[in-house]
Chains A and B, each alone.
Chain A
Amino acid sequence: MIEFHNVSKRYPGSTDALSQIDFKLASSEMAFLTGHSGAGKSTLLKLIALLIRPTTGQVLVNSENLGRVQPKRIPYVRRKIGMIFQDHKLLFDRTVFDNVALPLVIMGMPHQEIGRRVRASLDKVGLLNKEKAYPITLSGGQQQRVGIARAVVNKPSILLADEPTGNLDPELSSEVMEIFAQFQQVGTCVLIASHDLDLIRRMGHRTLILRDGKMVADGTLSKPASEANQ
């Protein structure tokens, strides 16, 4: 569950990157976050992951007020959030298995349990046969799916994805989106930042639209792409 109460973020020496954002995303709800580049999509996701703190307002994740989280506790908050990045952020000197296992290793999970969970996670994204491969040998779509497997391996209650299909062709994009939809169905709260309006419209989920840091629409996208993209 994600809640934003009147959240604004101003970077030093610039105008508001986000201003007075208000929304609530229930658990097991999937939503898209869209808008032109620089509209504040990344800033909004960063606020949830505690990469930055709001200038004013409150962000709540699973009913926990992030403003009260001490720096020392930030890692523990992030463990409840699975994050997927446009550039995948994989470690290229480690195998697919080791990459996916990383969040569990960080949590100090016993060895056998790690093996079981990693394989289950890789199975979900259809890469079970690639566990010993190095990311460099995989295609872009496969790398993205490794990133997804890593994000969900510790069963986070929230999934954040920043342009997860940015480098993928339409077919692969749909595949990736299907995977997200599956997680939503098992109770995960999924928030995807994307400017792929065709895809968003096809998926038919709730869509939050940002323009110059303000939320200008919140609903299911049915309008033509050109209008929403202004």
Chain B
Amino acid sequence: MSLSVYLARHMQVMIATLGELMRAPLSNMMTIAVIGIALALPTGLQVLLKNVQQVTAQWDGAAQISLYLKDSVTTKQAESLTKLLTKRQDVKSANNITPDSAMTEFRKNSGFGEALDALEENPFPALIVVYPSDNNDSIISVEAMLADFRARPEVERAQFDLQWLKRLFAIMDFGRRGIWVLAVLLSLSVLLVVGNTIRLAIENRREEIEIIKLIGGTDAFIRRPFLYNGFWFGLSGGVISWILVTLALWLLSGPVGQLATLYNSNYQLTTLDLTASAILLGFSVLLGLAGSWLAVSRHLHAIEPQ
């Protein structure tokens, strides 16, 4: 068999199986919808998680360490320490805030200026605000930097203000795992749904399979239409789930925009981009093929002409 004939046969089977799918849209739609919904759930959650990650990434960049200096440290010493810290590789920048400027700023912004007047001394300690460099803003490296800073004699207290971010990351980690578990379970169910549908299709065509075996059809020839059947189930299920996720995100985009406005942000929901869509469809096709392969390899051998 020449390659062109072989490819032409594949095309023919591909189109023929698509035609069969369209001829019985209702019963096939059930299977496709099950696949679509099963895949939409983990995909949608994944996209939402990605959004949360993006939002927190903005905060993450704002991670800062406050170094409260001892009272004995002079302004000069504070300045040289700031310069020293700026030279560190894991530090993007360091900002020296003297007690005077801290008081000025507080007076200006807080509205408690008069309360300050009642105090005899400037209550603000000298402060250096350290911004970790971009690739060192993970919890672990910040933790290491904190330990480092605390060991310095000038530093009274080093504080990482975003403790809650740590917790959020832990929750997101948990969420990611949860989504994976969900995705695995739902993929498994897609596999079984496709497998079962193909098994029924094989049962329905038992006589035809027997006849083809009688006149010399190879297993590959008999397998082919069922595999393409699974391919189409996978592809159309993937398209359905893409539509469902996109629709859901579109419904959410309004409220999210409003929420973002309240936070003075023009954040927009991340939707399924090209890569994510390709992965979704590819994975869906793969599941369809695997499901039908499962059914075909299990049930085709049981059909032998008598």
- Residues of chain A having any CB pair with chain B under 8 Å: 49, 51, 72, 75-79, 83, 89-91, 102-103, 105-111, 150-151
**9 A–B contacts from the bound complex (CB under 8 Å):** A49-B214, A79-B215, A102-B211, A102-B215, A105-B9, A106-B215, A106-B218, A108-B1, A110-B2
Check A111–B215 contact: CB distance below 8 A. Answer: no
* From A75, A83, A90, residue with most partner B Cβ within 10 Å: A75
Determine whether the beta carbon of B8 is less than 8 Å from that of A107. Answer: no
Q: Are A75 and B217 in contact (CB under 8 A)?
A: yes
Neighbouring B residues of A91 by C-beta, 8 Å:
207-208, 211
For chain B, which range describes its interface: under 10, 10 to 19, 20 to 34, or 35 or more residues?
A: 20 to 34
**What mask results when residues 1 to 34 of chain B are scored 1 for a CB within 8 Å of chain A, else 0?**
1100110110000000000000000000000000
Produce 1/0 per residue, B189-213, CB < 8 A to A: 0000000000000000001101111
B305 interface residue (CB < 8 Å to A): yes
Task: Scan B269-306; emit 1 where CB is below 8 A from any A CB, else 0.
Answer: 00000000000000000000000000000000000111
A108→B6 contact, CB < 8 A: yes
Q: Who on chain A is nearest to B220 by CB? A: A75
Closest to B8 in A: A111
Tell me what chain B mostly uses at the interface: helix, strand, loop, or mixed: helix
Q: Is B5 a contact of A106 with CB atoms below 8 Å?
A: no
Interface string of B44-68 (1 = CB under 8 A from A): 0000000000000000000000000
Do A103 and B5 touch (CB < 8 A)? Answer: no
CB distance from A149 to the nearest CB of B (A): 12
Query: Is A78 a contact partner of B212 (Cβ separation < 8 A)?
Result: no
- Is there an interface contact between A106 and B214, defined as CB atoms closer than 8 Å? no
Contacts of B207 in A (CB 8 A): 91
- B306: A residues at CB distance < 8 A: 51
Residues on the B chain within 8 Å of A77, using CB: 216
Residues of A within 8 A of B212 (CB): 102, 106
Cα-based distance from A89 to B306 in the complex (angstroms): 12
What is the bound-complex CA distance between A77 and B210, given in angstroms?
Answer: 16
Return chain B residues, CB-CB under 8 Å to A78. 213-216
Q: Is B106 an interface residue (CB 8 A)?
A: no
Since A89-B214, A91-B207, A111-B8 are in contact, a sample of 9 more A-B pairs with Cβ atoms closer than 8 Å, ordered by chain A residue number, is A72-B219, A75-B221, A89-B210, A90-B211, A102-B215, A103-B215, A106-B216, A106-B217, A151-B215
Q: Report the bound CA distance from A108 to B1 in whole Å.
A: 6
CB-CB < 8 A to B211: which residues of A? Answer: 89-91, 102
Complex Cα distance A46/B216, Å? 14
The closest CB in chain A to the CB of B221 belongs to A106
Per the bound structure, the CA–CA distance linking A10 and B133 in Å amounts to 83
List chain A residues, Cβ under 8 A from B213. Answer: 75, 78
Q: Would you call A108 and B9 a contact (CB within 8 A)?
A: yes
B86 to chain A, nearest CB (A): 73
Cα A160 to Cα B5 in complex, Å, equals 30
Residue of B whose beta carbon sits closest to that of A153: B215
Q: Using CB atoms, name the residue of chain B closest to A99.
A: B211
A-B pairs, 3 with minimum CB distance: A108-B1, A79-B216, A78-B216
What are the residues of chain B within 8 A of A108 when measuring CB–CB?
1, 5-6, 9
Knowing A91-B208, A91-B211, A108-B1 are in contact, say whether A103-B9 is a contact too (CB < 8 A): no
Instruction: Tell me the smallest distance from the CB of B12 to a CB of chain A, in Å.
Output: 9
Chain B: minimal CB distance from A74 (Å):
8
B218 contact from A51, A75, A90, Cβ within 8 A: A75
> CB distance B5 to A76 under 8 Å?
no
Find the A residue at minimum CB distance from B306: A51
Whether A110 touches B5, Cβ cut-off 8 Å, given contacts A51-B305, A89-B211, A91-B211, is: yes
Most buried by A among B6, B8, B208, B304: B208
**For the complex, what is the distance from the CA of A107 to the CA of B215, rounded to whole Å?**
10
Complex: A75 Cα to B216 Cα, angstroms: 4
